[in-house]
Amino acid sequence: MSGAFQFDPASTALVVVDLQPDFLPGGALAVTDGDAVLEPIVRLLTPGRFGVCVATQDWHPPGHISFASSHPGRRPLDVIDLYGHEQVLWPDHCVQNSPGARLHEGLPWGRVSVVIRKGADPVTDSYSTFRNNWDPSGRRPPTGLAGYLTERGMHTVVLCGLARDYCVKWSAEDAVAAGFRTVVLWELTRPVDPHSDAAVAEGLASLGVEILPDLEPAWGQQR
């Protein structure tokens, strides 16, 4: 797991997923221990480590379909059928232009060339940074990120951020499906549901996603 990971930084994109106050301790949909990933991700954003750095930002209009409050009688974490697929209902979170939806102010976002905002369609959720969840017509519309990364010459996608079992997992699945070599930095993510960890790791590995604890050993060797 350590030291053996070989990659070409110039053709590798770092994708930092949903580091927003609503997903951090004290937020509306706080991921336990989510703030533990911040400092290591600051280090990843050191200039020169990746060809491209991208951030994603959950960005819902008020009354979004994924909010339990939009479904009378439902509570957060209830699961409903939505257009033929399971949809978890969440507390209101990452409402457009609210403080909880900002990119966490402690990170050097100036090093990120693109911010993909997702979940802006009122009737469709979007866990993945590459494609929305299923829309009413049964499609999963692309966000354009795969095209952007391809045009920038990226072959590898390295993912970190929140949350491990939703937005990071779905993004990794779609990155592999789009043809990218895909790496999840496991220790630089945290789950909504820790009981999901084994199934998430197994599922991603079965698709060919590489799971590493961190990339720090790759640079540690160069010192």
What three-state secondary structure class fits 166?
helix
Compare residues 118 and 181 and give the one whose CB is closer to Zn ion. Answer: 118
81 counts as catalytic:
no
Bridge-based pairing state of the strands 52-58 and 79-82: unpaired
Stated as kind and residue range, the H or E segment containing 218 is: helix 216-220
Give one DSSP letter per residue of 80-134, joined into a string.
EEETTEEEE-B-S--BTTSGGGSPPTTS-GGG-SEEEEE--STT----SSSB-S-
Q: Is 146 helix (H, G, I), strand (E, B) or coil?
A: helix
> Rounded to an integer, what distance in angstroms lies between the CA atom of residue 127 and that of residue 23?
13
Given 118, 125, 160, 165, the catalytic residue = 118
- 169 catalytic? Reply is no
For residue 179, what are the contacts with CB-CB under 8 A and spacing of at least 6?
none
In angstroms, give the least distance from the CB of 60 to Zn ion: 6
- How far apart CA 83 and CA 16 sit, in angstroms, is 29
CB of 22: closest distance to Zn ion in angstroms? Answer: 8
Active-site residue among 165, 167, 174, 214?
167
Q: In angstroms, give the least distance from the CB of 94 to Zn ion.
A: 5
Site of tokens 């409402």:
95
Q: Position 103: which residue type?
A: L
CB closer to Zn ion, 44 vs 95: 95
For the bound state, the minimum distance from the C-beta of residue 179 to Zn ion, rounded and expressed in Å, comes to 26
Give whichever of 10 and 123 is closer to Zn ion, judged by the CB atom: 123
Of 18, 58, 92, 174, the catalytic one is: 18
Report residue 155 as tokens.
């072959």
Closer CB to Zn ion, 67 or 180, in the complex: 67
Q: Which two tokens stand for residue 100?
A: 């909880």
Which residue number, 58 or 210, has a Cβ lying nearer to Zn ion?
58
CB of 49 to Zn ion, least distance (A): 28
> In the annotation, is 118 catalytic?
yes
Chain residues binding Zn ion by CB under 5 A are 58, 119
**Would you please indicate which residues are annotated as catalytic (active-site) residues?**
18, 118, 167
